[in-house]
Each structure stands twice: as structure tokens, then as C-alpha cells.
Amino acid sequence: MRIQLITAAAVLLLSAGTTAQTARQTTRPDDEHPAREQAATIQPSLAGTWKSAPDQVKLTSDFDTSVWGANATSVRTVDLVVRSSGEATLKVTKKVIDVRGRTVPASIWIEEAQLVIGAPHDGIATRVEHDASVVSAARLFPDDPNYRWTLDGLRVKVVTFKDSDDNTIEIRYDTPEGRGSFWETLRRDRAAAARRASR
């Protein structure tokens, strides 16, 4: 019963109001998506693995305390893998950790999107905005392998900067209803690249 309560609370808390869509497939199969019909012309330095620092928020309401315990913290991380073809995988992972830094059971929540990133365009000041199409997106709970909700209407923006050292990008993550949307800074994950090269 407690696990069910925690799972329900995770849906309420970590989604920040994001509406779960029905599990039916409403998008076209990945290989038929219009974005895949366009030859991607990505900025070469965009290819690679990117990762955000953990975004942490203390959970202090009476409801949060009743579910997660005192002094629990919500943690969000964002990972992006961009291939030279322009195809990319974006993963947003949310979880709750207790006062001792341990992950609370059934609190892990993952939203994963398959993207196609295309040509860069000049934005405001030093910003460079990159075409980005969401091919498919779904919400997953690792504690329940059968749980998979299709996320329709998700939008993602990818931004780099002319005056940067090519090791920093920004991601804009927009949910259909706006709640739970965010900007996040990601940095190149050189350790991940080294691990792949050593295989």
C-alpha cells in the first residue's frame, strides 16, 4: 500500500502537473517520421554526450513530509546523446532522496524522447538555435517495466553559444500544458565519451 501511495505521489510531484497521455501509439513509427526524411545538417561540435548538474528542490510541505519523510529532496538530471547523423536521445530523470541521501523506493521517474536535430540558426545576441523535432516521447517508471505512457505535444529546443568553448548547451523542455517546463544547462560529458572509445 505504501509503495502504491509513493508511486501516486511521484506522479503528482515529479510531473509538476504534466498530463499522462493514453498508452496508445499516436505518433508515427520512428522510421516514418517527417523529421527523418530530412538530411540533418548539425553543427559538428554538437555531437556527443551532454549532462546537467543535479537540480535539487527541498520537499517541505505537509503532504511531501507525509509521503517522503522529513527533509526529502526532489532531484532532476538531464542527459542528451547526439549522434553525428543528428539523431538524439534526451532523458529527463527525476527521483526523491531521503534525508540520508538514499533514493526513495518507487520514486524514480524517467521521460525519454527521441529527437532529430538539424541545422543551426542565429538567435538573439550570441545564441545559436538548432532545429529540433521530437520523433517520439514516453514516460517510464523503472519500478514498473510495463508502465509506458506516450507523451504527445512535447517540444524541445537546443541552443549553443557563439562565444562558448563548445562544451556548454542549453535545453528548453516544454510540456504540452506548460507546467513542468524548464530550461537546463548541460555540459559535455567527456567521461562518457572516453568509456565508449575504450570499448
d(CA 75, CA 56) in angstroms, rounded, equals 5
d(CA 73, CA 58) in angstroms, rounded, equals 4
Q: For 24-51, what is the mean pLDDT?
A: 63
Of the pLDDT bands very low, low, confident and very high (cuts 50, 70, 90), residue 197 is low
Cβ atoms < 10 Å from Cβ of 49: 18
pLDDT for 80-100, tens place per residue? Answer: 999 999 999 999 999 999 999
Query: Letter for the amino acid at 194?
Result: A
Average pLDDT value for the chain: 82
Quote the pLDDT of residue 199.
60
**Residue whose entry in the numeric block shows the C-alpha cell 538514499:** 102
> By C-alpha distance, which of 76, 73, 64, 67 is closest to 97?
73
Give the 3-state secondary structure of 82-96: ECCCCEEEEEEEEEE
Is 104's pLDDT higher than 90?
yes
d(CA 115, CA 50) in angstroms, rounded, equals 14
Of the pLDDT bands very low, low, confident and very high (cuts 50, 70, 90), residue 156 is very high
Of the pLDDT bands very low, low, confident and very high (cuts 50, 70, 90), residue 176 is confident
DSSP 65: H
Of the pLDDT bands very low, low, confident and very high (cuts 50, 70, 90), residue 145 is confident
Question: pLDDT over 90 for what percent of the chain?
Answer: 61
Is 187's pLDDT higher than 70?
yes
Is 1's pLDDT higher than 60?
no
Is 163's pLDDT higher than 70?
yes
d(CA 50, CA 81) in angstroms, rounded, equals 6
